[in-house]
Amino acid sequence: MTATKLGGPEVQARPAVEEKPDKKGTMIKIPLLGITTAIAIWAAFPLVDNEAWIGLAVLIATTAGLLYLYLTPRHIPLKYLAPGTILLILFQVFPVLYTASTAFTNFGDGHRGSKQEAVTAIQTASVTQVPGSQQYALTVATTGDPATGPLVFLITDPVTRQVEAGDADGLKQIEAAVNSAGRVTAADGFTVLTVGQASVRSAEITALAVPTAGGAIRSSGLSRAYEGRAGRAYDEGCDCIRDTTTGRTWTADETVGAFVDGNGERLAQGWKVGVGFSNFTRVLSEPAIAGPFLRTLVWNLAFAIASTGGTFVLGLLLAMALHSPRVRGRTAYRVLLVLPYAMPSFAMLLVWRDMFNTDFGLINNLLGLDVDWFGGSASARLAVILVQLWLGYPYMFLVATGALQAIPRELAEASRIDGASAWGGFRRITLPLLMVALTPLLISSFAFNFNNFNAIYLTTEGAPFPADNPANGATDLLITYTYRIAFGGGGAQYGFAAAISIFIFLIVAVVSAASFRRTRHLEEVHA
């Protein structure tokens, strides 16, 4: 114990208080960090297999940073910010960046993998059985569930009795038990399919081709396989695919990621390449795309504005009607009014679709009408807006009720004393105060309705469709149009769909930014 003198009487120095480690916090922190490290190790293997070295470096740096951050007593604020920041990057920033990168490629059906994978697919698809083709005893197996797992051919060489396992990546030798007929009865790591299990998956077995040096191995029934010869072979000298029978040649075109012949005809199987801004320019320059896109955009804006504005007006009117203390049974009325909000929207949309049915729908039968609601553009659009009005007003009713209760009643009383009418008090006092609180909610509601996939897909599926364009319907929003492009029956175009998604993102971002700026202006006026 020492004494110090600070220009006066001596002051006894207090002994330093020794901080005790938080044992409970440590017991929670260590397992969580262990789980984080285990997840990082698990995620590292596919990155190494795909030679994604940049992603691996980011994973290692992030894991090391988290371990350092939570094992040191420093950087307390960062300990709270790190989880939210990581989740923001994983679930917001990364999907946006991935979508943007995809928009600059031709990624889609026929252009999913590398050039080497395209060559392999073209050669194996052209394999046919020829005289003298090598025959093998075949056993169909899987490395997963017998009903859904990836298929593997276990083939036995008739001379050496050596067993090989083959899939879309090629052949590899394995050790297995073989019966007198040469068929595999058991093999480590593989589940042999029974005749019944294999019969159920016969279409997949027929489609599977195991690439070899001279062609591919295909099944001939469920117990035999043959090594066929490829009818089309890749010639590295000319960087082309040559038909071994006719001599026809398709030369690689790196700008489009496909093999193209002299007449401009492409082989179906291509590879993924960068195409620059061509996906974006297609949206604005190709007549077959630009016209439907702009029409859909106009309807999309009208739908979002009508849905948001209609539900807001109706919800606010109901909230105002039940705000008066003179109304009896307000609680019961409010419960009834929020029932649509409490029900699953997807189920209600399907119910409404049946209610609008021309022949047996409730609306036509109840009103004595004979309207083909989903057969005309105007009636179909009116129908989906009415459905949105019914589904969306309870939300606006709830938020408007809460906002009205936050406004002091003294303001309305003071306006009446000053001689203002009920409408004047609402327009000059109540509504401006409501808009300060509700404008952010209206902006989020607009963004939601602008991309309200379920409202269209579960009621009209985009119909009615014009005869000359079955890919773009009268009630399609940009989001349903994009979905049809990405997953439609005509072939997926993920790169082009990603470009349209970027347009959607920019439109919503601009509208939201302008609206939030207006909100700040309202807050300044009524501050």
pLDDT value for 225: 94
Tokens describing residue 241: 């695919």
Measured between alpha carbons, how far is 526 from 519 in angstroms, rounded to an integer? 11
State the burial class of residue 465 (Cβ atoms within 10 Å of its Cβ: 0-12, 13-18, 19+): middle
Q: What is the spatial distance between Cα 113 and Cα 119, in angstroms, rounded to a whole number?
A: 10
Amino acid 27: pLDDT: 83
**CATH superfamily membership of 287-525:** MetI-like (1.10.3720.10)
pLDDT score of 19:
46
Start and end residues for every CATH 1.20.58 domain found in the chain:
24-102
CB 334 within 8 A of CB 322: yes
- The helix (H) or strand (E) run that includes residue 252 is strand 249-253
Q: What is the pLDDT of residue 522?
A: 59
Query: What fold is seen in the domain 128-233?
Result: Periplasmic binding protein-like II (2.40.430)
3-state helix, strand, coil in the chain (%, to 5): 55, 15, 30
SS3 assignment, position 380: helix
Q: In this predicted structure, what is the pLDDT of residue 18?
A: 47
Question: Within the chain, which residue ranges are assigned CATH 1.10.3720.10?
Answer: 287-525
> Range(s) for CATH 2.40.430 in the chain?
128-233
Q: Would you give per-residue pLDDT tens digits along the chain (527 residues)?
A: 444 444 445 545 555 444 455 677 778 888 999 999 999 999 999 999 888 899 999 999 999 999 999 988 888 899 989 999 999 998 989 999 999 999 999 999 999 999 999 998 898 889 888 888 889 999 999 999 999 999 999 999 888 889 999 998 889 999 999 998 889 999 999 999 999 999 999 999 999 999 988 789 999 989 999 999 989 999 999 999 999 889 999 999 999 999 999 999 999 999 999 999 999 999 999 988 999 999 999 999 999 999 999 999 999 999 999 988 888 888 898 888 888 888 889 899 999 999 999 989 999 999 999 999 999 999 999 999 999 999 999 999 999 999 998 888 888 778 777 777 878 888 888 888 898 889 889 999 999 999 999 999 999 999 999 988 888 999 999 999 999 999 876 789 999 999 999 999 999 999 888 887 877 665 555 55
According to the CATH classification, is domain 24-102 in 2.70.50? Answer: no
Cα 120 from Cα 137, distance rounded (Å): 24
For position 194, what pLDDT does the model report?
93
CA distance 205 to 15: 80
| CB proximity list for 124: less than 8 A, separation 6 or greater | 209, 210, 211, 215, 216, 230
What pLDDT score does 521 carry? 62
Predicted confidence at residue 20, as pLDDT, reads 54
Contact 135, 183 (CB under 8 A): no
Tokens of 138: 């075949």
Nearest CA among 379, 388, 407, 523 for reference residue 463: 379
Strands, DSSP E only, in 404-527?
none
